Amino acid sequence: MRHRLLPAAASAAALILAASACGGDGGDDGGGTRSITVGAIPIVDVAPLHLAVDQGFFADRGLDVEIQNTTGGAQAIPGVASGDFDFAFGNVTSLLVARDAGLPMKVVANGAATTGEQGNDFGAVVVPEGSPITSAEDLEGATVAVNNLENIGDTTVRNSVRKAGGDPAQVEFMELALPDMPPALEKEEIDAAWVVEPFLTTSLEAGATEVASNFVDAHPKLTIAAYFTSEQLLSEAPELAADFASAMEEGLAYAQSNPEEVRRIVGEYTEIDPTLIEEIRLPLFPPETDRESVSTIADLMEQDGLVEQTPDVDALFADAG
């Protein structure tokens, strides 16, 4: 297969203009409560965000949170840049690409991390039942579906192919929404797909075979995604950003310590079958990002030509100024 869907991405110049627009800084309803909007893809990874709302961690800090669904970091970043979102959830690759394009995004809280277990992570590369592809090396020449191009998915899949002895430049990536990946695999419309839960378990139960734990291959403690905002909001509303970060840290710690609560809340903001929720693999939710692992991703991005300059990983984080 050689079909490829190119992303309908705005130019860097257009996004930079969007970033200069007046961003949201948390509206005050007059009673001390500040309203904020958070963009987040409705997958297992963002359970700590929903738990932070559910457990009152945001309310304790005077924050009224509206969560709006996105398809991933490629959509969330323009949303933050334009002020549609005050904060958003996005993968670290998308955030580094954004900064390379001149978009002033800053990480304020951790998001999700790999389990570090080969064959037991919450994201993986899978192939249709009976596929001749049995390893990451065999992905050379194949079409692999990812939810966004220039993303944590294709970056780490290329790395897995490279580590296994294949040529990552010969892998053809195409964009496909995560829910569409399991049926596309069953119909053999694609050679392989990079999927995360719950679509990983759905695919495996339908007969797909897991051929690579791409997150684990990249780094055993890989920080995959984080919550971020704009430098503008950080400058104009530093207390708001600090309160958001504090509530998220509490939400991450709660999720990490209460996996049964993660499974419960996932059933409330997704349409996953309740029986499937009990079977899916959960990511880890460490309260802090692993910056060494983010540096590994930055190195892979530079190697693959996703960025023009060596990414300044430290500058990605709000506490770096």
Query: Whole-angstrom Cα distance, residue 33 to residue 95?
Result: 29
Distance of CA 104 to the CA centre of its chain: 18
Please determine, for residue 8, whether its predicted confidence score (pLDDT) is greater than 60. no
* pLDDT confidence band for 150 (50 / 70 / 90): confident
Q: How far is CA 157 from CA 162, 257, 290, in A?
A: 9, 30, 20
Please determine, for residue 270, whether its predicted confidence score (pLDDT) is greater than 50. yes
Query: Whole-angstrom Cα distance, residue 6 to residue 52?
Result: 36
Please determine, for residue 3, whether its predicted confidence score (pLDDT) is greater than 90. no
Q: What per-residue confidence (pLDDT) applies to 28? A: 56
Q: What per-residue confidence (pLDDT) applies to 308? A: 85
Q: In what order do the strands lie in the sheet with 172-175?
A: 172-175, 143-146, 192-196, 123-127, 209-212
Q: What per-residue confidence (pLDDT) applies to 73? A: 67
pLDDT digits (tens, 9 = 90+) for 28-58: 555 589 999 999 988 899 999 999 999 999 9
Q: How far is CA 256 from CA 49, 131, 164, in A?
A: 12, 36, 32
Please determine, for residue 23, whether its predicted confidence score (pLDDT) is greater than 60. no
pLDDT digits (tens, 9 = 90+) for 51-95: 999 999 999 999 999 999 987 767 899 999 999 999 999 999 999
Inter-axis angle of helices 259-269 and 47-54, nearest 10: 90
Q: What per-residue confidence (pLDDT) applies to 321? A: 47
Strands 123-127 and 143-146: unpaired
Lowest mean pLDDT: which of 25-34, 175-184, 200-209? 25-34
Query: Whole-angstrom Cα distance, residue 182 to residue 202?
Result: 7
Please determine, for residue 1, whether its predicted confidence score (pLDDT) is greater than 70. no
Query: Whole-angstrom Cα distance, residue 238 to residue 244?
Result: 10
Superfamily of domain covering 123-218: Periplasmic binding protein-like II (3.40.190.10)
Are the CB atoms for 218 and 156 separated by under 8 Å?
yes
Helix, coil or strand: residue 11: coil
The residue ranges of every structural domain in the chain are 12-114+221-320, 123-218
Q: What per-residue confidence (pLDDT) applies to 277? A: 95
Q: What per-residue confidence (pLDDT) applies to 159? A: 98
Q: What per-residue confidence (pLDDT) applies to 250? A: 98
- Arithmetic mean of pLDDT over the chain: 90
pTM comes to 0.86
Q: What per-residue confidence (pLDDT) applies to 80? A: 96
* pLDDT confidence band for 158 (50 / 70 / 90): very high
Query: Whole-angstrom Cα distance, residue 113 to residue 289?
Result: 8
Q: What per-residue confidence (pLDDT) applies to 261? A: 98
Helix, coil or strand: residue 173: strand
Q: Does domain 12-114+221-320 have CATH number 3.40.190.10?
A: yes
As beta bridge partners, residue 223 has 113
Q: Do domains 12-114+221-320 and 123-218 have the same CATH topology?
A: yes
